[in-house]
Amino acid sequence: MKSFILLSLLSAICMAQTKPITVKYPITKKSNHTDTYFETSIKDPYRWLEDDRSSETEAWVKEQNKVTASYLNTIPFKSQIKERLEKLWNYEKLSAPFTEGSYTYYYKNDGLQNQYVLYRKKEDGSEEIFLDPNAFSEDGTTSLAGLSFTKDGSIAAYLISEGGSDWRKAIVIDTETKKILGDTLVDIKFSGISWKGNEGFYYSSYDKPEGSELSAKTDQHKVYYHKLGTPQNTDVLVYGGIDTEKNRYVGATVTKDNNYLVISAATSTSGNKLFIKDLRTSNAVLTTILDQTDTDSYVLENIGSKLFIVTNLNAPNKKIVTVDASHPTPENWKDFIPETENVLSPSKGGGYFFAEYMVDAISKVFQYDYNGNLIREVKLPGLGSASGFGGKKDDTHFYFSFSNYKTPSSSYKYNVKNGEYSLYWKPEIDFDSDEYESNQVFYTSKDGTKIPMLITHKKGLVLDGTNPTILYGYGGFNVSLTPSFSITNAVWMEQGGIYAVPNLRGGGEYGKKWHDAGTKMQKQNVFDDFIAAAEYLIKNKYTSSNYLAIRGGSNGGLLVGATMTQRPDLMKVALPAVGVLDMLRYHTFTAGAGWAYDYGTSEESKEMFTYLKGYSPLHNVKDGVSYPATLVTTGDHDDRVVPAHSFKFAAELQAKQTGDNPTLIRIETNAGHGAGTPVSKTITQYADIFGFTLFNMGYSKLPNSFIK
């Protein structure tokens, strides 16, 4: 009890000691640009900021970064946060191993390396570096973005991303000699690589757009076949070249026996057509499995002509069906692993299927044989998220990983025959998970829907309404937020901070119905769920509005932008990252039109336009309102959610904010949507974010000392 009293006294000393910093924002010019939607005129005074190639935009970015850096550098404890992040981050990290050919491969980071290094071992245990992405560029901003081996493991193709861009280059190497084979392929986007024997591979891309490759619209995805030893300009167009095959997302996969090519085609991020082609027959044509995009389906496995298909057709929580490739349409499907009340995410390895289910966002795993018989439930190490259940068909064992919000990921070696597993690797990290607890609660949203939320913090936390809290959410695109460990969140919790994650509608935690309940004209449900989560935390004295920050990225950035403009009184700090913030124009940039399943577009109907305008963060910033202290973050090379969203939103906030709360934008240079960001940049970014958050909650000193 004494320690709690001392902690409360220390918090009182640290809080309410900061004075507002007067910020002089750069002058952002306004134009008279106006758009008309269904006879309604909408002003867009910052349209010029959409031109990412203009010298004016470049100058604006520099001035904004200068002001933001000046503010952040006045925070007295920011350097302490950075030092702690560096210290905690500096431990060896190891991925679960996988086998290709005669080698066992695994990713490893010695501690503070900007990118993970791919190592491999022979059977004798001798270790060597196979690929070191840290050598791809001097500043660590070129990352490994994909890797695919031939079936025998003798050849590999890997994708690289430069500056965080979604555009990729493909490099083919001989795995034994590590020598490059043929020319580097360029301009690949939203694609994996799928080998056909050792002859060549399939990949997907768009025609390079006119104008800016970072923001120009990309609308027609195409599948190509590249034969090794030939120039890219002779690659064969396989699918997507004609109007009847026009789709925004197309992918090709060769079955492991090299007998079939499977093509998935989608106009949006949800729902796909499915086709199959027999590669053993010359001049074979694509056979249709599904010709509509109302559901999601893919081929998981095949034994000869018997296909195992994962689908949510007439099964919102997914199931596995079987069908013969000669007559693959749905009327011939037979249930193999039927739908249950929980969402299915299956994998395969060692001659078995592994059915992972989300039960209130927590993993449960069951093992089945190829006849559909349940072999066993795999008893996991605890409550959290399991991943990696899978391998090659003849594997006798493979590796899986397990973690949760307070426990760093560890790897386990699994015996497929008897279901036993043993700890393979556990990180040595300067963080004691036993000092923390993670509890799931259920709260009620505005319309009465029950929403689960995991709340993680130090044990013995006093619920007095003064705990600094980050409420993190996403709520879209069928994405499920399952428990996982984060070094940055660990540092936050060391300071007595609470980290709370609700599983909002729009996600995939409860299947297609849960996803659809947060899309289009139901999108407000997502914001209501998030607001209700904040109200639950405040009502139950976990925190209060003065100590609450909301955070989310991409679609989660939209969530934060909508929540802070609808309920600016609810939180002290808002942290929208790489957000979709202009809901009237999002579909005009890069592949944004593919998000219409979740959002709808301002052009499709007057009703949809009115609904989007009603919550679009950019269009709901009002004069005379005191918005929370806001740090908008984005990357100048983000070609998924273009930075213009964040630029225009920040400009609106700066022009209309009332009161002393700062509204700043932090623009990472030579960085994209987030994937592949160097560790050094990530550490600096989170030192800024946590420093900004605590400083604007009133702290002049850190709540807890990092010195032990």
What is the per-residue pLDDT across 611-639, written as a single tens digit (0 to 9) for each?
Answer: 999 999 999 999 999 999 999 999 876 66
**Per-residue pLDDT for 708 more than 50?**
no
Give the separation between CA 688 and CA 85, rounded to whole angstroms.
11
Dihedral (CA of 532, 537, 543, 548) sign: negative
Average pLDDT, the chain: 92
Q: Give me the DSSP letters along 155-220.
A: EEEEEEEETT-SEEEEEEEETTT--B-SPPEEEEES---EEETTTEEEEEE-PPPSS-TTTS----
**Per-residue pLDDT for 137 more than 50?**
yes
Mean pLDDT of 563-571: 98
**Per-residue pLDDT for 5 more than 50?**
no
Residues shown for the chain: 708
**Does 554 participate in catalysis according to the annotation?**
yes
Flag the least confident range among 51-55, 235-239, 334-338, 644-648: 51-55
Q: Which amino acid is at 647?
A: F
User: Cα–chain-centroid distance for residue 258?
Assistant: 31
Helix (H, G, I), strand (E, B) or coil at 271: coil
Q: What is the pLDDT of residue 167?
A: 86
Given 221, 515, 587, 673, the catalytic residue: 673
Give the separation between CA 272 and CA 267, rounded to whole angstroms.
7
**Does 673 participate in catalysis according to the annotation?**
yes
Query: What percent of the chain is predicted at pLDDT more than 70?
Result: 94
> Which pLDDT tens digit goes with each residue over 352-371?
999 999 999 999 999 999 99
Mean pLDDT of 475-497: 95
How many CA atoms lie less than 13 Å away from 193 in the CB half-sphere? 28
Q: Give me the DSSP letters along 663-687.
A: EEEEEETT--SSTT--HHHHHHHHH
638 phi/psi in degrees, rounded to 5: -75, 110
Q: Tell me the C-alpha to C-alpha distance, in Å, between residue 236 and each of 202, 502, 569.
A: 9, 46, 57
> Which pLDDT tens digit goes with each residue over 679-693?
888 999 999 999 999
Given 401, 438, 554, 646, the catalytic residue: 554
Give the separation between CA 255 and CA 300, rounded to whole angstroms.
9
Q: Give per-residue burial for 164-193: e unless 16+ CB within 10 Å, then b.
A: bbbbbbbbbbebeeeeeebeebeebbbbbb
Q: Which amino acid is at 618?
A: L
CB neighbour class for 614 (10 Å; exposed up to 12, middle 13-18, buried from 19): middle
Residue with tokens 């640009």: 33
Closest C-alpha to 390, from 203, 204, 256? 256
Q: What is the pLDDT of residue 6?
A: 37
Dihedral (CA of 646, 649, 652, 656) sign: negative
H helices within 43-77, ranges in order? 55-72
Mean pLDDT of 119-137: 91
C-alpha Rg value of the chain to the nearest Å? 26
Q: What is the pLDDT of residue 604?
A: 94
Mean pLDDT of 58-77: 96
